[in-house]
Amino acid sequence: GWQSSFTDFSREAVAAASLGQVHKATMPDGRAVACKLQYPDMSATVEADLKQLRAAFAIYKRYDSAIDAQNIQEELSARLREELDYKREAKHMRLYRRMLADEDAVHVPEPVDELTTSRLLTMTWQTGQKFQSFLDSDADQDARNQVALNMFRAWYVPFYRYGVIHGDPHLGNYTLREDRSVNLLDFGCIRIFKPDFVHAVLTLYEALRDGDEDKAVSAYESWGFENPSRELIDVLNIWASFVYGPILDDRKRKMGETNSVAYGAEVAAKVHKELKAVGGVKPPREFVLVDRAAVGLGAVFLRLDAHVNWYQLFHDLVGDFDPARLAANQDAALRSVGLERP
């Protein structure tokens, strides 16, 4: 009797999702909704994929000692299994609605609980232009800068104020409205961090800014790197300097000045070589999605060709950072949607 819940339902999918597909529908009260329907037997498919991932990492471990991928495998497995539960994703969506409630340039759909199950997620429809269409357009520099600002706020307000990050930087996960504001559309891959971890992100920033090696050691240990040697710290700082580079420079600049794809590949190759020389590293689980998100969002800024003061954006957001306030904000937000801190 599902048809009675809608006055109209598109038989053809209007979009693809990672584990399903999206249909547009209209409810009896006139609301337009998006219905994300999971493909059949996705749980078994995911487990088969994760088995293949374990095999791939086992092969990798035999010939390359630079990175111990055990925690990477465990983190990706946990997040992917969470993505199977659309009821959990609905809670993530409500969490983001709360965290971004004061951000006028960011829009989050509202889940329709009575039409949501573990394999069906129904949410209010968000009208917008595909991100790729905007990138392909002849939008002027001001428009590109504004979109970059909105994307920055959409990703980092939740992280620095609530300890929550969206771990999937795929361009299909957001669209743009006519006023250049951003629609966030997918909330399957969400990571919640302890406040101390977020504080360590800022501690490492200060360490790189001030050349303070002891602070860097403290930051990496807080992240979960076990007994890092000074040699390992030096190697990790090569990568950190690449990722943090744009917010260490107090001026308007383009992301590509130090974070271009070519330069990123060069840095990655150098880090890989140096990691092997110092005996390798085992990245902590929490590091995986933070790194992925930072690099992925940086790639979006590269493609936008945005020219902004990244340093100022960052400091406007974290200037009054207080770990205790973040913890209180996080606890209240999680409690309000029925989630718990891991």
Query: What are 317-330's pLDDT values in tens digits?
Result: 999 899 999 999 99
The strand pair at 307-308 and 253-254 is best described as antiparallel
CA dist 338 and 112 (Å) reads 16
SS3 219: helix
- 290, 295, 296, 299: CA torsion to nearest 10: 160
pLDDT in tens, 238-249: 999 999 999 999
Percent of the chain with pLDDT over 90: 80
What pLDDT is stored for residue 341 in this prediction? 84
- Residue of higher predicted confidence among 224 and 126: 126
Please say if the pLDDT value at position 259 is more than 70: no
Q: Mean pLDDT, to the nearest integer, of 300-312?
A: 93
Amino acid 91: pLDDT: 98
- What pLDDT band is residue 16 in, cutting at 50, 70 and 90? confident
Q: pTM here?
A: 0.94
Helix/strand/coil for 189? coil
Percent residues over pLDDT 70 in the chain: 99
pLDDT for the residue numbered 83? 95
What's the mean pLDDT in 57-80? 92
Q: Which residue spans within the chain are E strands per DSSP?
A: 8-9, 15-16, 20-26, 32-38, 106-107, 120-124, 129-130, 164-166, 174-176, 182-184, 190-192, 253-254, 307-308
Beta bridge partners of 165: 191
- Please name every residue paired with 22 in a beta bridge, in sequence order, or none if there are none: 15, 36
Is residue 173 a contact partner of residue 36, using CB atoms and an 8 Å limit?
A: no
pLDDT of residue 320: 87
Whether 162 shows a pLDDT value over 90: the answer reads yes
Q: How far apart are CA 161 and CA 273, in angstroms?
A: 36
